Amino acid sequence: MPFRLPMLRLHLLLVLYFALILNWPVLLHLITILEGLEHVKVGFIISIPLLLIAALNLVFLPFSLRFVQKPFFVMMLLTGSLASYGMLKYGVVFDADMVRNVVETSPAEAESYLSLSSFGWFLITGILPALLVLLTRIEYPRWWKGSSQRLGAMAVSLLLLGAIAGLYYQDYASVGRNNKVLTHQLVPSSYVHAGWRIFRDRYLRTPEPYREIGTDARQVGSAHGDKPTLLFLVVGETARAQNYALNGYGRDTNPFTRTEKVISFAKVQSCGTATAVSVPCMFSNLTRAGYDDEKAHNQDGVLDVLARAGVSVLWKENDGGCKGVCDRVPTITMSPKEYPTLCRDDVCLDEVLLQGLDREIESMHGNRLVAFHLMGSHGPTYFKRYPDELRAFTPDCPRSDIENCSQEALVNTYDNTIRYTDWLLSQMIERLKGLESKYRVGLIYLSDHGESLGEKGLYLHGTPYALAPQEQTHVPMLMWLSPELSRSKGIDEGCLSQAASEGEYSQDNLFHSLLGVMDVATSAYQPRLDMFKPCRAS
The tens digit of pLDDT for each residue in 58-105 reads: 999 999 999 999 999 999 999 999 999 988 888 777 777 777 777 777
**3-class secondary structure, 505:** strand
Contact 517, 489 (CB under 8 A): yes
**3-class secondary structure, 317:** strand
pLDDT at 223: 45
User: Which one-letter DSSP state was computed for residue 111?
Assistant: H
pLDDT band at 222 (very low <50, low <70, confident <90, very high): low
Give the Å distances, CA to CA, from 10 to 6, 81, 458. 6, 18, 35
> 258-287 pLDDT, tens per residue?
999 899 999 999 999 999 999 999 999 999
**3-class secondary structure, 344:** strand
What percent of the chain has a predicted confidence (pLDDT) above 90? 73
Three state DSSP letters for 270-285: CCCCCHHHHHHHHCCC
> 279-324 pLDDT, tens per residue?
999 999 999 999 988 899 999 999 999 999 999 999 999 998 999 9
Residue 425, C-beta contacts closer than 8 angstroms, at least 6 positions apart: 234, 256, 257, 262, 443, 445, 478, 480
pLDDT at 74: 96
Contact 149, 9 (CB under 8 A): no
Q: How many CB atoms lie within 10 A of CB 414?
A: 26
pLDDT at 3: 76
> 337-353 pLDDT, tens per residue?
999 999 988 899 999 99
> 130-162 pLDDT, tens per residue?
999 999 999 999 988 989 999 999 999 999 999
| C-alpha to C-alpha distance for 518 and 231, rounded to whole angstroms | 8
First to last CA, the chain: 84
Residue 422, C-beta contacts closer than 8 angstroms, at least 6 positions apart: 253, 254, 255, 256, 257
Is the model's pLDDT at 169 over the cut of 70?
Answer: yes
Buried-state track 314-329, b at ≥16 Cβ within 10 A, e below 16: bbbbbbbbbbbbbeeb
Cis upstream peptide for 483 (omega within 30°) = no
Give the Å distances, CA to CA, from 427 to 116, 266, 432. 37, 23, 9
Q: Which domains does the chain have, with CATH numbers?
A: 3-203 (no CATH), 229-535 (3.40.720.10)
99: enclosing H helix or E strand: helix 96-103
> 115-128 pLDDT, tens per residue?
888 899 999 999 99
Contact 447, 238 (CB under 8 A): yes
pLDDT at 392: 96
Average of pLDDT values for 18-33? 90
Q: What is the largest CA-CA distance in the chain?
A: 87
Task: With CA atoms as reference, report the closest residue to 278 among 445, 455, 101.
Answer: 101
pLDDT at 481: 97
pLDDT at 225: 55
Helix 42-60 vs helix 143-178: angle between axes, to the nearest 10 degrees? 140
Averaged pLDDT of the chain: 92
Three state DSSP letters for 228-270: CEEEEEEEECCCCHHHCHHHCCCCCCCCCCHHHCCEEECCEEC
pLDDT at 185: 84
> 497-531 pLDDT, tens per residue?
999 999 999 999 999 999 999 999 999 999 999 99
> 36-60 pLDDT, tens per residue?
877 888 999 999 999 999 999 999 9
What percent of the chain has a predicted confidence (pLDDT) above 70? 98
| Single-letter code of the amino acid located at 265 | F
Average of pLDDT values for 459-481? 93
| C-alpha to C-alpha distance for 100 and 279, rounded to whole angstroms | 13
